[in-house]
Structure 1
């Protein structure tokens, strides 16, 4: 009788200590059902349903899963301490992608993947870390000469944007006509405006150090070097930016303002696609801390670029609008070249305790309001000659 009483007491204590998160979720059967739903030939759901839930084609998902499993063994199915097989990789990646794509909470994902809340959040953090380490260099790189040539041939590349959210964490990004994000700077918190963020942005540092994409071109019989970005009126009058005209008077100015503002909508369209594709940006990410939010944002941008690359047909012939720019004077190169035809190394700000004069010259040139205004006038004339004068 004493032994029976001790046994009943132990069972009572175990029953009281059992948590709701330790219920038997039967993840083995859910993993099997998930494979039958999406990941086997002649699966239950069509590819359109897969795109709706995962935001990408099945072959791209398989590539990402293969790379992540090789990078982090956490995502590989393993036996636990008692020899029971754990979650399959498809379940773990499904949990992370559903949180990113649908903005679902861990409780909602639990119903889909049969995983505990803390396991789901761990999958999300590890997934974002793996994507950043594996794909940042490839999918957030600077434009190569081939990329610059394609943007130049397009003739209407437009590339600057700055989006602010209600949580006062700002995302600065550079995007082009095909919604590819070339530059992203996220994580500036607090009461900031566009100018303060610009002062902290690594994009300005790249210009000063000579790391920015190098292009020379001629418009209105004037030769310019360096790329420029389309920006709104709040940005300073630097030669790096081309802004609209506040109160255009002539037909040329109205045509320029219309084209400039219309082209700048592309970066807003890119942000719209980004938020529509990854719903976690719109709401649920507010519950996470700043470091995790930054990792999530960069992961969403990298995945966005991967999807753009997968869906965009780069081999298809593109029909570009005629551009009267003197292509004989247009040159694209990755870094400044020296007299020996070798790339010049960037110079330091301080040399032997003294300031580096070339960097100071680049800084003064970048902030020259005269060059900014002259550049804008030449662009107005060039655009009118190319489009406005012919289209009325």
Structure 2
């Protein structure tokens, strides 16, 4: 389970890094900031669990069951080695044991257990300790206090030499529950390694997908941008702008707008709350996601100031910017386009002085030495420098 958690955290971490690169960086940093410590903790605990892999997991119930069944014996400590791992500042030790049960044949084994520093003298080589044999035939044992064996039983038990008895290894990562060995949900042997790798890969990919899917538009656009040598999409270009328009229309619920601002990294739209309404809200498309920013700063006086997406050839914005930049021999740079109705200059019109004329595409191109403003008709024609 710890390994599953570690790989899930690893997948989330990768997903967070992807979102940092192509999506809302704050979301990516939040996900990565949570996933990284989880991954580290789960990995450390997994390594600790591996180091205690052949430590005998004996519950008090299992020890009591062994006592009740009189599965008792004497174990001689043949060797004690510290593994270098400490748990709660106490050393995890490896013990070579030779065990003589009350009933059955003697056997040798090696087990790992935590030996408190103050108890190390009790586990010096040659020391004999009473043990409960958790399963018939061993090799799992648990050290018990003296007194469980009667003096007569203790007197007749003689532990033979280690070399004269069979060696029975302790199966790693096993616990004794209800008189049976219970292993982890996922095996640790070589035979199951391909299946485990496949499972861990699926878990990591699924975790990464859960993080990334909400920003799939930004990811797709970024992959397309990489083909042009850019990490992030330029929303002024036709393909990215078309994706943004679809997402905004879907979020707004209709195609009426009062203004459109197109920049390389974001698009801002002021649109009525419903078609035919003058109450106008602001919507922002950034990093593949649409946010509703509440009421627009400037509210139109009439629906005549609104227009439809279809009234504007947004796919011409990038070409217009390139044409304008070429005319003044300056780069497009970070120029942004602004689409709004032209001011009605008919003095006899009730909408005189208000943005109620035909929609126009406006942008400026320049550098530190000067800026030139351009305006074009909504269909992308009539590009003129101001």
Q: State the TM bucket, normalised to the shorter chain.
A: under 0.3
More strand by share: 2
Structure with the bigger RCO (C-alpha within 8 Å, sep 6+) is 1
Task: Please give the TM-score of this superposition, normalised by the length of structure 2.
Answer: 0.22
Q: Which has the higher helix share?
A: 1
